[in-house]
Amino acid sequence: MIWYPYEQMKTMRPPYQIVDAEGVYLYTKDQKLIDSVSSWWSVIHGYKHPELDRAIEEQLGKFAHVMLGGLTHEAAQKLSDKLQSWLPGDLDYCFFSDSGSVAVEVALKMALQYFMNRGETARTKVLALEHAYHGDTFKTMEVGDDEDYHFVLNAYGKSQHVIHIPTEIQALEQAFEVHHETLNCFIAEPLLQGAGGMRMYDISFLKRARELCDQYGVLLIFDEVATGFGRTGNRFVADLVLPDILVLGKALTGGYIGHAVTAANHRVYDGFYDENPEHALMHGPTFMGNALACSVALKSIELFESQDYLGKIRRIEEISRQEMEGFSDPRVKEVRIMGGCVCVEVYDPADIKGYQQFAYERGVFSRPFLSYLYAMVPYVIREEELRKVFRTMKEWFAR
């Protein structure tokens, strides 16, 4: 029996049974649904994409997987070469893992060990944002600020190793002033905080963070597991402000297979590179660099480049603004739009209860959570399909 995610099994509504998926559509036995969630924001090219399918089939003809412990292979090498040339700045060193949470763990471990390797043993703390979400594993829960994990706080008390601040420059400056001697890194979901409620903030905050990190020697980590590959309208937010470590996941493989990468710059890599075996990075997920995942990720990036995906995302943002900007209803607190993300926040979660079934009956798959109704569509969506996603939302409020 399947134990489903984030659900009280006793009271959950049975999940929709998907029997086929193609393009932006999910198929149940009797309904065709536009996937407005892109399977947790990852399926940017849509389902059953012929070129992505072919990339996997080709690799499958050779082998599905070999470990990176003592072995290596072309699919992982080609992907790391591609990322090295494609990612901004000198984020040249790719550490692969099987999920975003693990890749964030790796980034946090890198930041801590970087300073331990240098003998700076007081640098044990992480600066993070309020409402942050960085994954479901223990360290990422601790660094995140998700109400669902407050049982951990109840059990262990507030972490002595994480400081949470709001996305305000004054709070940022103050945190650095007070804690700079004990900080190893500042980690953020840049510009768009996803699971914490699709919260959007200004680039000036991140520019100031970069300056303060430079001033105090603190490492800057961008968790772009959700924002990477165009979701904010930028290819990566790292194109605007350069972090020392960049974490990518979700859309990395076009949503085909779980895989993630922690890309470090030269400074970080050099902090591990010497004669001392204790200075090595002690991490190695069993399925890191999985050959099927790497081959589909490479093809996904090639599509992103060759098919003008940033143009597609600009078009999505334009239509989103036409449909949703200025939309108001007494129940709606705010409408937020950025790149390929639209969020309608309501005052009372009860006001969107039942929306999922309402949308299902109209041919849209949606998965609202708490007080957030949102769309993060596959970038290949057509104009009329996208308008249908928003009109379904507006229809709900018009009842």
Ligand X SMILES: *Cc1c(COP(=O)(O)O)cnc(C)c1O
Residue 127 CB, nearest distance to ligand X (Å)?
16
The reply to whether 225 sits near ligand X by the rule CB under 6 A is yes
The reply to whether 196 sits near ligand X by the rule CB under 6 A is no
The reply to whether 339 sits near ligand X by the rule CB under 6 A is no
Contact criterion met (CB below 8 Å) for 44 and 341: no
112 vs 319, beta carbon nearer ligand X = 112
Residue 184 tokens, joined:
């190893």
The reply to whether 101 sits near ligand X by the rule CB under 6 A is yes
The reply to whether 113 sits near ligand X by the rule CB under 6 A is no
Nearest CA to 206 among 222, 185, 182?
A: 222
The reply to whether 201 sits near ligand X by the rule CB under 6 A is no
φ, ψ of residue 20 to 5 degrees: the values are -160, 160
Residue 139: strand, helix, or coil: helix
First-residue to last-residue Cα distance in the chain: 38
Query: Which residue in 59, 106, 111, 135 binds ligand X (CB under 6 A)?
Result: 135
H-state helical runs in 24-64: 38-41, 50-62
Name which of residues 234 to 293 contact ligand X (CB under 6 A). 249-250
87 vs 132, beta carbon nearer ligand X = 132
Closest residue (Cβ) to ligand X? 100
Out of 114, 125, 145, 250, the active site residue is 250
The reply to whether 195 sits near ligand X by the rule CB under 6 A is yes
CB within 8 Å of 156: residues ≥ 6 apart: none
Residue 151: strand, helix, or coil: helix
State how far the Cα of 266 lies from the Cα of 211, in Å rounded to an integer. 18
Residue 74 tokens, joined:
């072309």
CA atoms within 13 A on the CB side of 6: 12
270 is catalytic: no
Query: Which residue in 223, 244, 323, 351 binds ligand X (CB under 6 A)?
Result: 223
DSSP-derived letter for residue 291 is: H
Query: Which residue in 45, 73, 134, 388 binds ligand X (CB under 6 A)?
Result: 134
Q: Measure Cα distances from 364 to 20, 22, 159, 226 in Å.
A: 15, 14, 41, 22
146 vs 351, beta carbon nearer ligand X = 146
250 is catalytic: yes
Nearest CA to 319 among 368, 236, 375?
A: 375
Number of residues that bind ligand X (CB under 6 A): 15
Contact criterion met (CB below 8 Å) for 36 and 341: no
Query: Which residue in 47, 133, 365, 396 binds ligand X (CB under 6 A)?
Result: 133
Out of 35, 223, 244, 351, the active site residue is 223
Query: Which stretch in 27-35, 43-51, 132-140, 366-374 sits in contact with ligand X by CB under 6 A?
Result: 132-140
Query: Which stretch in 18-26, 58-66, 129-137, 160-168 sits in contact with ligand X by CB under 6 A?
Result: 129-137
State how far the Cα of 7 lies from the Cα of 13, in Å rounded to an integer. 9
Name which of residues 53 to 82 contact ligand X (CB under 6 A). none
Instruction: Give the footprint of ligand X on this chain (CB under 6 A).
Output: 99-101, 104, 133-135, 189, 194-195, 223, 225-226, 249-250
Residues labelled as active-site residues: 6, 133, 223, 250
